[in-house]
Amino acid sequence: MTQPIRPRRSMLYVPGDKPRALEKARTLACDAIIFDLEDAVAPENKAQAREAIAEAVSAGGYATRELILRVSAPDNADDLALAAALPIHGVLLPKVETPATITSVASTCPHPIWCMIETPLGVLRASEIAAASDRLAGFVAGTNDLTKDLRARHTPSRTPLLTALSLMVLAARAYGLAVIDGVHLDLDDLAGFEAACRQGVELGFDGKSLVHPNSIDIANRMFGPAPEEIAQARRIVAGWAEARTQGLGVARIDGAMVEQLHVDAAERLLALADVIART
């Protein structure tokens, strides 16, 4: 299933029990807001968080941002009932490990479904999960839980996670899903955050999940088309059109051989840049 092109460079988690954070999120330049009922909210605050999220979403003011609710568990009836009642764009399920989870939620919740892939079993079944329903919108990597379950180490290179991250991207792309990279926990390490974003771009992720607003601008810049990329994409599209008028199946543009696959990528980049410019 091919999804409409939509920027998801920065997806910010906002704790549901923090009214000031819910209010501030209306002013932030993130592409998506994940209203969080899971890890960021203590068990005794879940009911309060549901009320605060319902009030904030109903009040509006989030403009074109994609609004997603992360429930505390895929079988939490109160959270899923809230999701079904809200005018949001999706529901995010934590620790998804089986296609049956998607099937169950799809029967009760009308919104597109996102999956946290954050356990070894979830990674190994990523392709089965991706194929579970045409209601599925994408994956979000849960890199902290995955690192813990692997008994791996947090390293700047994220070498222990590269296999898992690539398997998520492969499964998502095979079924036309979006895929979002995991969070960077060192809030003061913006250089390290930028390096992780660069790696995420190189691996094929659409964007980065965030836990603090101070990293939004970096994520938007790293996962968004750069001016030089936009200019090159325009040259590719124009050069290809000229080549086709001459009956050619390949073209030489900027010293490189260009085929239809390169044109497809260039057109997608330009479409993404256009959507970003209009938001």
Q: Positive or negative CA dihedral for 15, 209, 222, 4?
A: negative
8 A C-beta contact, residue 113 and residue 106:
yes
- Mean pLDDT across the stretch 49-61? 97
**Tens-digit pLDDT profile for residues 159-178:** 999 999 999 999 999 999 99
Average pLDDT along the chain? 96
DSSP class per residue in 208-222 = EEESSGGGHHHHHHH
Quote the tokens at residue 100.
């049956």
3 state SS of 18:
coil
Neighbours of 177 (CB within 10 A): 23
Q: In this predicted structure, what is the pLDDT of residue 2?
A: 62
Distance CA 54, CA 269 (A): 35
SS (H, E, C) the chain: CCCCCCCCCEEEEEECCCHHHHHHHHHCCCCEEEEECCCCCCHHHHHHHHHHHHHHHHHCCCCCCEEEEECCCCCCHHHHHHHHHCCCCEEEECCCCCHHHHHHHHCCCCCCEEEEECCHHHHHCHHHHHCCCCCEEEEEECHHHHHHHHCCCCCCCCHHHHHHHHHHHHHHHHCCCEEEECCCCCCCCHHHHHHHHHHHHHHCCCEEEECCHHHHHHHHHHHCCCHHHHHHHHHHHHHHHHHHHCCCCCEEECCEEECHHHHHHHHHHHHHHHHHHHC
User: Quick one: average pLDDT of 17-42?
Assistant: 96
Please tell me the predicted confidence (pLDDT) of residue 39.
Answer: 87
Q: What is the model's pTM?
A: 0.95
Q: What is the mean pLDDT of residues 103-125?
A: 97
**pLDDT band, residue 34 (cuts 50/70/90):** very high
Statement: residue 254 has pLDDT above 80: yes
CB 262 within 8 A of CB 236: yes
The tens digit of pLDDT for each residue in 64-73 reads 999 999 999 9
3-state secondary structure of 256: strand
The arithmetic mean of pLDDT across residues 145-158, rounded, is 96
Instruction: Give the span between the Cα atoms of 49 and 213, in whole angstroms.
Output: 20
Nearest to 75 by CA among 36, 107, 105: 105
